[in-house]
Amino acid sequence: MSTLTSSIAVEQVKKSRLAETDFNNLEFGKYIADHMLVADFKDGKWHEPVIVPFGDMLMSPAMLSLHYGQSVFEGMKAFYMNDGNINIFRPQKHSSRFNKSLDRMCMPTVSEEMFIHSLQALIELDKKWIPKSEGSSLYIRPFMFAYEARLGVKVADHFKFIIINSPVAAYQSKPYRLKVEDHFVRTAEGGTGFAKCAGNYGGAFYPTQIAREEGFDQILWTDHKEHKYIDEVGMMNVMFVINGKLVTPQLNSAILDGVTRDSILTLATDMGMPVEERRVSVAEIEEGFRSGQITEAFGAGTAAVVAPIAVINIHGKDYSIQPASADSFQTRVKKKLHDIRMGDATDIHNWNFIIKG
């Protein structure tokens, strides 16, 4: 799927930083592509976006987002396909989620046309920044924040919408060790858990730091009321294979509607895998490990796509999971998703937004 776009004003960099970028050692988020797209919302409307050289911005210490947290972001990827074209994966879904987050934070929404138009223009300009090694991609970070300078507690009237890009290598990580959290709360139903707003992540740092000091990689968050039900992992949604069925917590206002989550659930149905989206209790997971009914557990997110889980600690006891095999569901669905993105499998759901390479 692709589209033609009208031109966006561009100020090109005088000297590219490509030569200074070590594409053989791409730490996540270390390198930023040459240009960024910037659009201002003021006087009650969006003004025309422009593309300018990536660099520092002048801003007031009284900027409202610094004090009251009106800040939202997205995370998505673009790839070189096997035919040499560029694929931005599921931009419509990301646009929809971005706007849900913005609406929750009392921020102006961005039309799907403007969102995708902006992505396409920026990536076409900086396409040399898309790495070509197996599994690598261009990580795309659209975000918006309140830019108005005022100390009063109020909804801002002036916002900036910005897109920056970063080349990233294939995600490499050993299987995760997770700790079921039964004290701290990331978010609560009725709160902002479903939104990708900055405060959700800042508020999770402290309990995550404690978990890492205890030897875990991430927290498996539970409900805010009783800590009886699974929500999600700090960086991704969580999925289990229980009695041959793919089981994942049903979405509510405390759980992020992950794009990878949605993709995997859709592909599971295509692959004939029974799917259950429902409340998943900590007690059920504990019993599932004891009885052997749980055969797989993994995370789903933009960075890792599928992240195997090796250990889940419940009430101080470690429960181990056998490593994923070539025949496991998580391995097969990850390959299926990869093949669609690369153009090796038919994109029957129209997820790929293709730009000529």
From the list 136, 83, 89, the residue with the least C-alpha distance to 343 is 83
* Overall number of domains in the chain: 2
Four-CA torsion 264, 267, 271, 275, nearest 10 degrees: 60
User: Do 226 and 140 have their domain in common?
Assistant: no
User: Do 195 and 61 have their domain in common?
Assistant: no
What are the pLDDT digits (tens) for 247-276? 999 999 999 999 999 999 999 999 999 999
User: Do 267 and 311 have their domain in common?
Assistant: yes
Is residue 37 in a domain?
A: yes
Is residue 348 in a domain?
A: no
Is residue 105 in a domain?
A: yes
> Among 153-162, 164-173, 344-353, which stretch is predicted with the lowest mean pLDDT?
164-173
User: Do 251 and 288 have their domain in common?
Assistant: yes
For 311, residues 6+ apart whose C-beta sits below 8 A from its C-beta are 175, 176, 177, 178, 318, 319, 320, 321
Is residue 302 in a domain?
A: yes
Is residue 222 in a domain?
A: yes
- Greatest mean pLDDT among 18-22, 23-27, 33-37 lies in 33-37
Lookup: tokens for 4: 């033609």
- Judged against a pLDDT cut of 80, whether residue 172 lies above it is answered with no
Is residue 333 in a domain?
A: no
- Judged against a pLDDT cut of 90, whether residue 278 lies above it is answered with yes
Q: What is the mean pLDDT of residues 112-138?
A: 96
Q: What is the pLDDT of residue 5?
A: 43
Q: What is the mean pLDDT of residues 110-118?
A: 97
User: Do 22 and 163 have their domain in common?
Assistant: yes
The span from the CA of 3 to the CA of 18, in Å, is 28
Is residue 340 in a domain?
A: no
Element (H, E) at 179: strand 176-180
CATH number for the domain spanning 274: value is 3.20.10.10
User: Do 314 and 187 have their domain in common?
Assistant: yes
Angle at 218 between CA 215 and CA 224, to 5 degrees: 120
User: Do 97 and 208 have their domain in common?
Assistant: no
- Judged against a pLDDT cut of 80, whether residue 138 lies above it is answered with yes
User: Residue holding tokens 């995600």?
Assistant: 171
User: Do 181 and 289 have their domain in common?
Assistant: yes
Q: Which residues lie across from 197 on neighbouring strands?
A: 72
> Among 156-160, 169-173, 213-217, which stretch is predicted with the lowest mean pLDDT?
169-173
Q: What is the mean pLDDT of residues 161-175?
A: 91
3-state DSSP call for residue 4? coil
User: Do 15 and 83 have their domain in common?
Assistant: yes
Compute how many other C-beta atoms are within 10 angstroms of the C-beta atom of residue 244.
10
User: Do 196 and 276 have their domain in common?
Assistant: yes
User: Do 123 and 250 have their domain in common?
Assistant: no
The upper half-sphere exposure of residue 174, i.e. CA atoms within 13 Å in the direction of its Cβ, equals 6
The span from the CA of 154 to the CA of 253, in Å, is 23
* Domain end point (choices 170, 197, 230): 170
The span from the CA of 168 to the CA of 163, in Å, is 16
Q: What is the pLDDT of residue 6?
A: 57
- Judged against a pLDDT cut of 70, whether residue 10 lies above it is answered with yes
What are the pLDDT digits (tens) for 185-231? 999 999 999 999 999 999 999 999 999 999 999 999 999 999 999 99
The span from the CA of 25 to the CA of 56, in Å, is 24
Range of the domain at 239: 176-324
Q: Which residue has the higher pLDDT, 304 or 61?
A: 61
CATH number for the domain spanning 142: value is 3.30.470.10
Name the pLDDT band for 158 (thresholds 50, 70, 90): very high
Is residue 271 in a domain?
A: yes
User: Do 182 and 295 have their domain in common?
Assistant: yes
* Domain end point (choices 170, 190, 205): 170
Name the pLDDT band for 3 (thresholds 50, 70, 90): very low
